[in-house]
Structures are given as C-alpha cells and as structure tokens.
C-alpha cells in the first residue's frame, strides 16, 4: 500500500488528478478505453475541480473514458436535487467531453422487484467494459467504502443496502433533516471494488483520522469494510495531515516495536 500525505486536500487531489491524466493518456496510446470508478461526497470535490480545469486549460479529453459510480440513494430519481446522478453531472460530467453513454450510476428509482436485475446488470456492464482500471474511493466514518457498511463481506456484489445511522446522520448536512435522508442505497460490493486493478482512497480532516487508522493499521475485518483494501495489491492512500495523524503515529509505534 502506498501512503501519500499532503498538507492540503487540494495538493493531494492535484496529485491524484495527474495520475488520472496519465492513465487516460497511457490508454490512448495503447488504443484502450480507461474505465474509472468514481465516488461522490465532499471528499472528491477538489479532484473533480482539478479534472475540469485540466480538461478546460490543458485539453485533457474524456471522450474515451468510461465511468462507473459506486452508489446511489434508493428512492431518488436521477433529477432529484440530492441524487448522486445529479451530483456527478453538476460537479464533473457536465463540464467534460465525456460521452453520456459512457457514464454509469446505479438507478435509485427502481421498483423493488427490479432491484436484483438492476444490480446484476450493473455488474455485467462493468465486466463488459473490461473491469475497472482505477477505482476512486472516499471513506465513511463507519469504515464504509461505497455504501458497504460494517458487516459487508469482502465478496459482496452490487446490491441494495441499509445505511448505517452514523452515515445517515452525516448526510443530514446535505438533506437538511434526518427524516429526508434515504434509509437505503444501491452500492457496488466490496468484492466489486476489490476487483479494480488499482484503487486510490482519499480522506481529509481530523474527523477521518480514527477510521483511517482502524482501516489501515487495524485487523482486516468486516467491522471496517475499508480494511479489506489492505489485501489488495495496488492501493494508494491520498491523505491530508489531519486525516493521516493517527495512522502516521501508529506506523511509527509499530516500527519502534519491531526494532526493539
Ligand atoms: C460516495 C461513497 C461514500 C463516501 C463516504 C465519504 O459515493 O461511496 O463511501 O466516499 O461516505 O463521504 P464524504 O466524502 O462526504 O466524507
């Protein structure tokens, strides 16, 4: 696992954006279409701003890029102001030359009897695209990746899940009121995420320090689904100093113990 610690989320996001740009260019030279898994939430906003800037000012093209978002709130249609479909269009897709048919976000407004089919089709679409080259992740305070809350196994696939009360409480800032926060979501599984060829997880701020330490220094367990990333061969962490503080202190301690 590679740890990249930066002073600010902007510096970290710019570094990851350069990595994404070089993936896009490498694929172009190889005649392949890059497949990128995307996250929503506050964490990737600076990354998306930088990708938009690179497109506008440096001519970085997304015409060949295929994207798959991690998740969507259950019950929200695409045009709902808080849907992740809308979030992604407002913050990224509307400002790029990405082709609409290459954008994938799980559908939140499906009938209960269509859920299994929708999830299977989402998995099939990822497989048809050749699998995910780079999966971008944030991390929730529960240790979730996507909306794989504690108790989600390493082999889970795209499915309908119940959101943890901590996750719903964190979403009040977006929805204004707890009663407006959906109780369920569609999410790709931990197994789906772990099949990505490489993974970049971002976390900012002191409020993420405890979960970052648990996920990357603690035991690998479904109590903290992000800990499954410890077993993936190509994971990079992009952290700002406050988010990395406990992890860095824990690494130092482990290093001392192993020297003694
Ligand atoms: C969102 C997602 C979630 C978020 C996580 C952190 O698509 O998959 O796992 O990455 O909840 O959210 P923020 O970035 O708002 O702290």
Centre of ligand 1 from the C-alpha of residue 202, in Å: 10
| H/E run at residue 167 | helix 165-170
Confidence of residue 250 (pLDDT cuts 50, 70, 90): confident
Q: Give the whole-angstrom CA distance, residue 141 versus residue 92.
A: 24
Average pLDDT over residues 83-106: 98
Centre of ligand 1 from the C-alpha of residue 29, in Å: 32
User: Which of 36, 139, 201, 202 to mutate to test ligand 1, by most ligand atoms within 8 A of the CB atom?
Assistant: 139
How do beta strands 2-6 and 235-240 pair? Answer: parallel
pTM surpassing 0.95?
A: yes
Has residue 259 got a pLDDT over 80?
no
pLDDT at 26: 97
Q: What letter does residue 148 receive in the DSSP assignment?
A: B
Centre of ligand 1 from the C-alpha of residue 250, in Å: 24
> Per-residue pLDDT tens for 5-55?
999 999 999 999 999 999 999 999 999 999 999 999 999 999 999 999 999
CB 138 within 8 A of CB 84: no
Confidence of residue 258 (pLDDT cuts 50, 70, 90): low
Beta strands in 111-166 (DSSP E): 134-137, 159-162
**How many helical (H) and strand (E) elements, i.e. helices and strands, does the chain have?**
9, 10
Q: What percent of the chain has pLDDT over 70?
A: 98
Closest CA to 171 of 71, 59, 241: 71
State the closest ligand 1 atom to the C-alpha of 146, by its place in the atom list counted from 1.
8
Average pLDDT over residues 212-234: 98
Centre of ligand 1 from the C-alpha of residue 44, in Å: 8
Has residue 201 got a pLDDT over 70?
yes
Name all residues whose Cβ lies below 6 A of ligand 1.
39-43, 70-71, 138-140, 144-146
Q: Is 138 helix (H, G, I), strand (E, B) or coil?
A: coil
- Return all residues near 55 (Cβ < 8 A) that are at least 6 apart: 61, 62, 95, 96, 97
Average predicted confidence (pLDDT) for the chain: 96
Closest CA to 136 of 181, 202, 213: 202
Centre of ligand 1 from the C-alpha of residue 31, in Å: 32
User: Which of 12, 38, 39 to mutate to test ligand 1, by most ligand atoms within 8 A of the CB atom?
Assistant: 39
- Return all residues near 69 (Cβ < 8 A) that are at least 6 apart: 37, 38, 39, 40, 84, 85, 88, 104, 105, 106
């Amino acid at each position: 696992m590679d740890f990249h610690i930066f002073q600010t989320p902007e510096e970290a996001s710019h570094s990851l954006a350069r990595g994404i740009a070089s993936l896009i260019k490498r694929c172009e030279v190889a005649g392949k279409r890059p497949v990128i898994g995307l996250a929503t939430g506050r964490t990737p906003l600076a990354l998306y701003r930088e990708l938009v800037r690179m497109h506008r000012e440096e001519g970085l093209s997304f015409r060949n890029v295929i994207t798959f978002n991690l998740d969507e709130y259950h019950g929200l249609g695409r045009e709902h102001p808080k849907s992740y479909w809308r979030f992604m269009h407002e913050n990224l897709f509307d400002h790029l030359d990405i082709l609409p048919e290459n954008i994938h976000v799980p559908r939140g407004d499906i009938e209960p009897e269509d859920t299994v089919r929708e999830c299977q089709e989402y998995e099939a679409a990822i497989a048809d695209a050749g699998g995910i080259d780079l999966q971008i992740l944030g991390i929730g305070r529960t240790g979730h990746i996507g909306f794989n809350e504690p108790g989600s196994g390493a082999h889970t696939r795209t499915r309908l899940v119940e959101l943890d009360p901590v996750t719903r409480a964190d979403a009040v800032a977006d929805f204004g009121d707890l009663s407006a926060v959906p109780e369920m979501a569609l999410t790709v599984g931990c197994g789906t995420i772990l099949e990505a060829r490489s993974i970049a997880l971002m976390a900012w701020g002191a409020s993420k320090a405890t979960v970052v330490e648990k996920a990357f220094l603690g035991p690998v367990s479904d109590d903290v689904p992000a800990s499954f990333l410890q077993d993936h061969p190509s994971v990079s962490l992009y952290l700002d100093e406050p988010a990395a503080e406990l992890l860095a202190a824990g690494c130092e301690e482990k290093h001392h113990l192993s020297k003694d």
